[in-house]
Amino acid sequence: MSKRTWKLYLADMLASIEKALSYVAGLRYEDFLGDSKTQDAVVRNLEVLSEAAHRIPAEVQKKHPQIPWSQIISIRNRLIHGYFAVDPEIVWTIVTNELPELRKHLEAVQQEEVSVAGNGGGRNEKP
């Protein structure tokens, strides 16, 4: 069993978003369509994002309803189980339209946790 805390999974989510966004930075949709390596790299990071979200405890998810947890988690299932039919248009839409906003929300959660820990509010928190 993993000893990682949910805060580390949150950091994984942010790291996967950063990677995916960096891979498409400066690309047009047509460029993305023609670059299977970039598509694969982005899809892999969406899988990591989704798997990490799945490991965030339900009580943390409930505290942050502005984050579409179930949608993020379902990305993995669609990508893993539909790997023969991954739609690059959907991937492009997720990475260019949804990830920047999601990053803001996750950064706010991360900052909130830093503030709580700095005030001694997280001492008895379970990992």
- Residues marked as catalytic: 76, 81
- Single-letter amino acid, residue 35: D
Q: How far is CA 22 from CA 15, 17, 51, 80, in A?
A: 11, 8, 20, 22
- Are the C-beta atoms of 32 and 88 separated by less than 8 Å? yes
